[in-house]
């Protein structure tokens, strides 16, 4: 079944992540089985709201919420799925602790359906819309915060249902295409800088990869990223924001051993985002020495102010007559402001001051 396939793949990914983040605390959320009680064909017609296995999903989310509530606010969480539905509680927690953070969603799909718009009734196509406040009420009441569309940055999404595309277009959601691959890290960094985000949560659904790179996913879509491109884009997030508040890796289905190098590269890149960063080097000491002017520059001796600065003014006049540039330092500017005839000084210097 999909459940057991996700369990095997998630365990393989979690083992890699744990090896990078040692020492770390690992918590497991149990899997609850439930009867499916909805007809997705009816939901697809918009006649009712349908979410397959909603009771089990809600119980899992409730357990995850309880586990996360026990953590200190400083704890940053790495979530291994499972499908993308496991991300709703961790992302909502990160959003509450780091208000306004960016949510970078690496995924072939937008996961923006509502229960009414979903053609399948599977919740893994609804987590982002739920985080935006348009999901099943049973789950919404478990979320400590909501996202705004401006917080979303999609990377590699290429298989959107029409209602999802309408939402992206009408809310001006940022969507970065997989091509050109060479510029993706720079385009992602630019989007994060443009939004002036102080933190980010990074979600990776492995179906963002092209099936030729990693076929062990439940919903493959052609035209995805190469593994090296994904790794570089993930690293770009860490360079573009001060804090990575959390990360998630989902949709590793079945036994990924034939593609273990690809899984390990992606899992390590994500996990390294949560490693402590080295302290920045101390700033260079400020130099208190005077500026090194070119050799042909000559300082002008400052005269007492008793005569209104007339002696200094006369010296400036000689430089101007000789068509020599005049450099005003901070002290000179103060002197000019104290001269009794500022209009005369400005008329004298004109554009000769450098």
CA nearest neighbour of 117 among 134, 97, 131, 105: 134
Q: How far is CA 73 from CA 69, 76, 96, 118, in A?
A: 9, 8, 10, 35
- Which tokens belong to 81? 């799925």
- Which tokens belong to 163? 């209602």
Q: pLDDT of 29-66, one tens digit each?
A: 766 665 555 654 444 444 336 899 999 999 999 999 99
On whether the CB atoms of residues 188 and 236 are closer than 8 A, the answer is yes
Residues in Cβ contact with 277 at an 8 Å cutoff, skipping those fewer than 6 apart = none
The per-residue pLDDT for 354 is: 42
Q: pLDDT of 116-150, one tens digit each?
A: 999 999 999 999 999 999 999 999 999 999 999 99
- The H-assigned helical ranges of the chain are 2-20, 40-44, 54-69, 88-97, 127-131, 137-140, 162-170, 184-195, 227-240, 260-272, 310-321, 330-338, 342-349
- Which tokens belong to 279? 């302290």
Give 10-residue mean pLDDT values along the chain (354 residues). 64 87 72 58 48 93 95 93 93 96 98 94 96 96 96 98 97 96 97 96 97 93 97 98 96 86 95 86 61 52 53 66 58 43 57 49
Q: How far apart are CA 106 and CA 264, in angstroms?
A: 17
273 CB neighbour count, 10 Å cutoff: 22
The per-residue pLDDT for 35 is: 58
């Amino acid at each position: 079944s999909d459940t057991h396939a996700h369990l095997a793949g998630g365990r393989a990914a979690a083992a890699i992540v744990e090896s990078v983040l040692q020492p770390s605390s690992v918590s497991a959320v149990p899997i609850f089985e439930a009867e499916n009680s909805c007809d997705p064909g009816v939901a697809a017609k918009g006649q009712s709201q349908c979410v397959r296995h909603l009771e089990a999903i809600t119980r899992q989310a409730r357990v995850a919420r309880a586990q996360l509530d026990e953590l200190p606010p400083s704890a940053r969480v790495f979530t291994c799925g499972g499908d993308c539905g496991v991300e709703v509680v961790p992302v909502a927690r990160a959003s509450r602790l780091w208000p306004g953070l960016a949510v970078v969603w690496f995924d072939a799909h937008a996961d923006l359906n509502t229960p009414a718009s979903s053609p399948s009734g599977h919740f893994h196509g609804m987590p982002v819309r739920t985080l935006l406040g348009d999901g099943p009420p049973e789950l919404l009441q478990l979320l400590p915060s909501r996202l705004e569309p401006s917080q979303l940055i999609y990377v590699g999404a290429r298989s959107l249902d029409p209602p999802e595309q309408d939402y992206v277009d009408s809310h001006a959601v940022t969507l970065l295409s997989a091509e050109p691959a060479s510029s993706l890290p720079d385009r992602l960094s630019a989007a994060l800088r443009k939004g002036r985000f102080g933190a980010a949560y990074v979600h990776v659904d492995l179906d963002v990869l092209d099936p030729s790179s990693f076929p062990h996913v439940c919903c493959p879509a052609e035209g995805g990223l190469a593994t090296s491109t994904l790794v570089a884009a993930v690293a770009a997030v860490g360079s573009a924001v001060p804090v990575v508040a959390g990360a998630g890796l989902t949709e590793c289905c079945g036994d990924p051993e034939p593609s273990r190098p690809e899984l390990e590269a992606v899992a390590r890149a994500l996990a390294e985002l949560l490693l402590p960063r080295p302290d920045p080097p101390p700033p260079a000491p400020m130099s208190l020495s005077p500026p090194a002017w070119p050799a042909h520059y000559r300082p002008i001796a400052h005269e007492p102010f008793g005569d209104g600065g007339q002696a200094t003014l006369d010296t400036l006049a000689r430089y101007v007559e000789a068509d020599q540039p005049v450099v005003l330092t901070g002290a000179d500017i103060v002197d000019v402001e104290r001269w009794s005839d500022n209009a005369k000084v400005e008329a004298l210097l004109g554009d000769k001051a450098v």
